Every structure is written in C-alpha cells, then in structure tokens.
Chain A
C-alpha cells in the first residue's frame, strides 16, 4: 500500500471546491455566531443567531443560508431601524426597512412570560421580517417555555411549532427569503407531521459568505502577536 505523507505537499482538503459540506451542528453554531458578530450584531444577539441557524440546520432547514443572506442584506444597518417597536400585540418596524429576524425572535423569547405578545388572544402581528424562517427556532423556545403549541402565518401559509420542538405544516413561505409580516399565536395545527429531516449539507457559497463575515471579527497577524502566542522554548526537544 502506498503510504500517505502530508509533509511537503500543498495542504488541500478532500472536499472539492463545489461540493456542499456536511457540517455538524456545533460547527454551524460557531460559524454563524462569528458571522453575525462580524456583520455587526452585539455578542449576545450573535449568540442567538448561532443558536437559530444551528437549530434550523439540525432540523433539515437551511439556517446557514438564510442567515448569510440576511446578513448580506442587513449589514451596517442601525439597531433602531431593524429592532421591533414593541406594543401589545403589534410589533412594528420603526422605518421602511424590514425587521431583523434574530432581533424579533430573541425579543419574542425574552417576552415569553410578559403580556406584550398577546399570543393567547388575537396573536402577535409583526411588521415585515427579513428571512422569517430564522424566527422559527425562537418560536420553538417560546412554545417550550409556555408549554403550548404555536402557529405562525406568513403570506397566508401556516407553520406550526409544538411545545416539544417539532415543526408542522409548510415552510415554503417562511423559506422564500422575502420579507413578510407574521401572525404568531397559540394554536395547535391539525396536520400530519412529515418524516424527521436530517441536516442538509451546507452550500459552499453560504460557507464562504459566512466566513467573510466571520473574518471581520479577527485581527490580522503581526510579528509581535505571533511571537507572543507560543512557547518561549523550542518544540524540537
């Protein structure tokens, strides 16, 4: 058998340049956390973005792709323009710009025990939300917290999230990538649960976009920083 020896070869991966990559949930979470921060989210909100993208990924939805696309759209925008204006039952945008789905989702989860959501009554109406699929993981968190199933209506299509974290119904409208208004309420959908879905490979294009954002959190090397990072003694002993 021919022995493999990496020494002296150019480092390449076995993954070709066009194949999607099968990523673990942990990898998606870590990459999306950094990318969201690189695109300008606060550290705490970037954690929420990493959570949301990884939750969707593990359920077989394109969380990383939706986040990459949203970050491309929203990068550089001011928080006040993309966070919801919270009034009971009505969360609107303060500008003509669509709301950030991570901001809407995290704010909704924060308000799970508060009356501002009106989930039990007419439900919560939101202004247009960018890439609304990213709200779904937060609905799952709220459903779990209050112990009740939720539904979200987007462009007339209903998607359900159960208190034990399952997704019911169609997600076509949520996944279309277009900003749309949402109506969220306590409701149990009477639909069959599709077979569990497995995590999909992530498009290389998505990974590259996320990497570009993630690299904005890093500092270019300098001789000083290189010298300070390692051992003071040789490793060749």
Chain B
C-alpha cells in the first residue's frame, strides 16, 4: 500500500540534493521520467481502481471524418473524451500555435455528454482557441498526423499486412498533440473545480487522461480507414506493434515559461522527486525482489534508449553519452549490491562520479523503480494551491529580505548584467495568438515589452536597490516606494519555504537553451524520446509501451512494465 501523504515530511533532509545542483538548466535539461511522472500516476490509479472504458460513439465516414466518444468510468465519476476527426489538407498542417485547423480535435468532458453537448462541442472544439468550451469540459486539445507513418500503417492494414516495425520505431506515434489546454483555458473548468477529487490530486491528471484516450483514438482511426480502403482484406494492428505506438507531442516555446510562472508547483514536483531519491538512498539493504525489479527496469530503459532517435546535434551527443553510461551501468548492476550498508546510496554515489549528467538522471529513475511502496504516495504532494496568490509578508524587514537574496540567489547576484552576453535575449509575447517568444536584444524590436522571466536580473536589481535602503524599513514601506520590485519580492519570500522554486540559471543569457526548460516539464509528465527540432522546439512521445484503454490488460504486452 503506497504511503498517502498530505505534505512531504522529509525523512532524510540531509540527503536531498541541493537546489544549486538540481535546479541548473543542464541537469533539468537531462531529466528522465520516473514513476512519479504524471502519466504513471494516472495509469497506476486506473489499474488499482479497476476503471472501465467504453466507446459509445464512433461516427466516422469513409474518409475518417466525423466524431467519436470514449468513456473512462472510475469508481465515482465518468469522464469522456469527445473527438472530432477532420480531413486536413497538407498545406494546412502545422504544429505551431498559429495553425487554424488540425487532423483531429478533442475535449475531455466531465461526465457523459448528451447529444446536445456533442452538438455544442462540435461548433467549438474544431476551432480550438477561436471557440469556447464550458465548465463541463476539463481539457481542449488537438493532434496532427505523422503523415508518413499514418499513411504507411493504413496502407498496410488495408492490404491485410502489418506495418514495418522499422517505420514504427522511426516515428513512434500515429499522431502528435500540438496543444493540450486545461485549467480554465477558453472557458473550461478551473483547476479549483476538480482539485478535491481524488483522481485529480496529482498534477495534470485530466490532461494525461485526455492524451491516453487520444492514443486509443489514433489506433482506432487507422483501423477504421484500413477497413474503408481495403474492405474484407483489411486486418487489425498486431498487439506488439500497437504497443510500440505512443502519442507524440510537439511543443514550442509556449511551454517553457510555464515552470517559471508557477514556482511553487515546480518546487513541489522537484521536492517530491528529491525526497523519493533520498528515501531510496537511505535504505539499509537491497532485497532480491528489488534487485530483480531494478534489472527489469534497466532492461526496459535499454529498449527505450535503442528506440530514442534524434537528429539534433546536442541531443545526439547526449545520447552518445547515455549509451556509454549504460555500458558502465550494465557492468555495475551485475555486481549490485556491492556495499553491505546502504547499497542504493553506494550505487548512487558511484553514478555521481562515473556517469554523465544524462546518465545520472537516468539512474535516478531506475533506482526509484523498485520502490513504489516507499515513494508513490509522494505523488499526492506534487500539486500546488496557487489560486489565492501568495501574499507578501510586508512586516519583514528589508535586512531580512537582503539576507534571503544572499542565501538563495547567490547564483543570480554573481552575474554581471552589464555584459551584453548576460542580457542578450528577452522574453516577449507576440501579438499573433499571444505566443511567447524569445528575442535578441540587439536585433529585435520590443525589448521594452520584456516579460518578467529574467529572474536573475530582477533579483540582482532588487539587491542593488536594497543596498541603498535602511535595514529596519519594512518590506511594506519599501514596496510603497518601489512598486517595480513587487514581482521579485514575492518570489524571494517564497523561495525561503520552497527551495526548489527557482531555476538557478540566467534565462536571458546568449547561450540559454529553452529546450532544457521544456525537457524538465515533459519528463515530469512522463515523456520519452525527447527529440529537439531546434533550440526552441521539441517532439516527444507519451504512453509508448503502455496498455490501451479498450484492450484488456492481459492482451497488451506492457513493454515498459509500467502501470
């Protein structure tokens, strides 16, 4: 029985890695999914509670245009994915947020939709941002086909043949989502509306459920089109090939600012993971069951690595490192456990010296894997109550505020912002579809409209201002004189309670990589096969190797041994 915990009570605080180590972009940009990742949390709950799944509506024509409904029936409530399939011309297929049409569009409905609900959604969901949804909807999303693989699979199945495994492995998914909006976006239910439900206690559970049901839709639509095309000759996807297909996701800069704008949420994600690591390191022994589980997890990780493709130079180099790391790990694990006391800590400490950062983060994921009973309850601590806004403590003296800056923002105060390379970029929001972008200060217009994501510089400016202030002035009085520092003062006060709230790197430096921010977030979602398409754009895969909602668990080979 996993531990159920309302708040993280550090058992081994001394063993936490420091924020200065964990919250650096190089390490965040090497994050791996773990058993605390949100899609894993969802699948565990679905399996533990025996959720049932149905497809009450499947109304697609021979071209694959129409609508479908999937129901996820939990112990107390039912949720339904409403899917609309479209016939999208190639020249309109874009993963960018500025797109206006997609291969398929979706909403996750709270309950079972009536025909009237479906008609209302059909007038809105296909338009995505230009439509409106309601408090009855928990998410709004869309997906585009991987043209190459989608067509290949339909073609083969329609002839009664199976697709090539190489083709499947080269892409990994039939469709990729290009946005999954939740939490009140475009009129959908606020997170507050659903957060007290047990099934939404961990972050992004509605969004993960939506994507998992979307994976079923992707498999269903290729089989539907194969029958439309091939008639009686058509066959169904073989279970082992179907299991290899995840749902892709294509993400641009829009995702990157999220973890900066939600510092407490970021803290809770990281703190839960670090506490999990500390608990495992503190174990006195490694029993046979845990050792077997570790070997199984490593075997699955090797499969995952062998399927992980990228053409981006940075990721290619990291994958080379990881392959080398896995050779070292293979040897090391054969001898595990070597230490008679605290063998997991011994393994971890070896990894710190022997492995690349990418390999160390992979090892973290591996050693959590055998210890569900010890760490899974931490998933309940990963959400954050942000709606009330965090109130500033105005009674604090500015001397104390300065101490907090010195204690928690030393990494920022050491940066010289008069050097152009340290302030080379600026984050802004484009007028077009309000898309976050990153500009070059010396080349692009609009730096006067910079977004407050330059945390290091804001902290540095506050520190300079405080040095001109009397020590006993209250923060309240200080902010009355200098309202421009209000934004960063709130964060500085937060970090004293939430040590993992800040990314400890300069987000406007010339060499900053936005994909590092994205990878950190996507790993917490449970993403694999991180494949940068530029320094600001990335594709990943979700749910690869996991069961399908409509397939009985025993017929689906669970490649990753999750769920």
Contacts and interface: CB of A to CB of B under 8 A. Distances in A.
B252 A229 contact: yes
A6 B487 contact: no
A174 to B, nearest CB: 21
Contacts of B443: 224
Contacts of B342: none
Contacts of A225: 430, 437, 439, 444
B188 A24 contact: yes
Contacts of A41: 483
Nearest to B251: A231
B446 A7 contact: no
Contact of A219 (B87, B445, B536): B445
Interface in B483-528: 483-490
B394 A4 contact: no
Interface string A43-59: 11101100100100000
Nearest to B130: A11
A114 B476 contact: yes
Contacts of A60: none
Nearest to A54: B387
A42 B190 contact: no
Interface residues of B, number: 87
A39 B514 CA distance: 29
A224 to B, nearest CB: 6
B189 interface: yes
A176 interface: no
A111 interface: yes
Interface in B287-331: none
Nearest to A25: B190
Nearest to A26: B184
B486 A7 contact: no
Contacts, number: 205
A236 interface: yes
A73 interface: no
Contacts of A4: 84, 122-123, 126
Contacts of A79: 483
Interface stretch (A12-20, A126-134, A184-192): A12-20
Interface in A103-125: 103, 106-107, 109-114, 116
Q: Which one of A1, A43, A47, A111 has the highest number of Cβ atoms from chain B below 10 Å of its Cβ?
A: A43
Contacts of B89: 7
Given A4-B126, A47-B487, A109-B391, A219 B184 contact: no
A195 interface: no
B101 interface: yes
Contacts of A44: 479, 483-490
B394 A110 contact: yes
A228 B135 contact: no
Interface stretch (B141-149, B228-236, B267-275, B349-357): B141-149
Contact of A6 (B126, B474, B489): B126
What is the interface residue range for chain A against chain B? 35 or more
A24 B190 contact: yes
A22 B388 CA distance: 21
Contact of B389 (A7, A26, A47, A235): A47
A97 interface: no
Nearest to B474: A114
Nearest to A219: B446
Contact of A45 (B391, B445, B446, B483): B483
Contact of B533 (A3, A43, A111, A233): A233
Contacts of B428: 218-219
B480 A13 contact: no
Contact of A221 (B87, B144, B387, B430): B430
Contacts of B395: 111-114
Nearest to A198: B135
A232 B533 contact: yes
Interface in A143-163: 145
B220 interface: no
B487 A43 contact: yes
Contacts of B126: 4-6
Contacts of A6: 86, 100-101, 126-127
Contacts of A112: 391, 394-395
A86 B148 CA distance: 67
A224 B487 contact: no
A187 to B, nearest CB: 22
A112 B480 CA distance: 14
Given A44-B486, A225-B444, A7 B449 contact: no
B431 A218 contact: yes
A10 B23 CA distance: 45
Of the listed residues B124, B391, B477, the one surrounded by the most CB atoms of chain A closer than 10 A to its CB is B391
A23 interface: yes
Interface of B: 59, 61, 65-66, 84, 86-90, 92-96, 100-101, 120, 122-124, 126-127, 130-132, 134-135, 144, 146-148, 183-192, 250, 252-253, 387-389, 391-395, 428-432, 434-435, 437-439, 443-446, 449, 452, 474-477, 479-480, 483-490, 533-534, 536-537
Given A114-B395, A218-B449, 7 more contacts: A4-B84, A11-B130, A83-B480, A106-B486, A113-B394, A221-B431, A232-B533
23 contacts: A1-B66, A6-B101, A7-B88, A22-B135, A23-B187, A24-B188, A25-B192, A27-B186, A41-B483, A42-B487, A43-B484, A113-B394, A218-B430, A219-B439, A219-B445, A221-B432, A225-B430, A226-B432, A228-B438, A230-B96, A231-B533, A232-B537, A236-B90
Interface of A: 1, 3-7, 11-15, 21-27, 41-45, 47-48, 51, 54, 79, 83-84, 86, 103, 106-107, 109-114, 116, 141, 145, 215, 217-222, 224-226, 228-233, 235-237
